[in-house]
Amino acid sequence: MSQLGWKIDLGMCTGCESCTIACKAENNTEPQLSPLPLSDGGFPIHVSYRWVIYKESGTYPTPRLDFTSMTCHHCKSPACIKSCPVGAISKRAGDGIVLIDYDKCIGCKYCLWACPYGAPQFNKTTKKVEKCTFCVHRIDKGLMPACVTTCVGRALTKVDDFNFSNSGKNAPQGFGDPSLTKPAVEFIAK
């Protein structure tokens, strides 16, 4: 079985969020209207399959701001599949893409708690869990994922035959332990 994966160049990511916006537009995720509605706690209510993490480090006079584009890593041993009580999550045999069957999903959120990377997102409107599909509708037509084609810094790369010996290689500080799920992502260090 071939496995699709990601290569993320940490030195090339500018934090522009073009990957986030492309993903949101391609997959029409919540909310479809702007501005973002707010929860009772004042946080935006939204579903994002890809997002950018901002991390500050250093001290004056050399402060630093690093960016990491994150999403579902379509793991070799996905914790989300093991945690789903109704079998709504599966891994495609041909390319390793992890998908959720929304007709089966009961919105229990077990996969949210199981995933060490925060990939599953709960949609408060549909009461279902959603996540990155690797733009499977585009992949099946021979196209690249929307986030990859839109990345301004060319920090995102689709890997057609991911080598799991590189799973989580050069991961930024705070990234979940790759030995737990074997994520199909490799980071290129700065």
Query: Residue 95: which of 37, 151, 43, 142 has the closest Cα?
Result: 142
* Averaged pLDDT, 9-19: 95
Phi, psi of 157 (to 5 degrees): -135, 135
Q: What is the pTM of this model?
A: 0.89
- Distance separating alpha carbons of residues 151 and 37, to the nearest angstrom: 27
Question: Is pLDDT of 7 > 80?
Answer: yes
At residue 31 the predicted structure's pLDDT band, cuts being 50, 70 and 90, is low
Tens-place pLDDT, residues 134-184:
999 999 999 999 999 999 999 999 999 999 999 999 999 899 999 999 999
Q: Are 60 and 10 in contact (CB under 8 A)?
A: no
- Distance separating alpha carbons of residues 27 and 23, to the nearest angstrom: 6
Tens-place pLDDT, residues 78-122:
999 999 999 999 999 999 999 999 999 999 999 999 999 999 999
Tens-place pLDDT, residues 35-58:
555 566 655 567 889 999 999 988
Strand partners, 185: 6
- Distance separating alpha carbons of residues 111 and 124, to the nearest angstrom: 15
- Domain covering 5-188 assigned CATH 3.40.50.300 in the classification: no
For the chain, percent of residues with pLDDT exceeding 90 = 82
Question: Is pLDDT of 3 > 90?
Answer: yes
For the chain, percent of residues with pLDDT exceeding 70 = 92
Strand partners, 155: none
* Averaged pLDDT, 21-35: 78
Q: What's the mean pLDDT when you consider all of the chain? A: 92
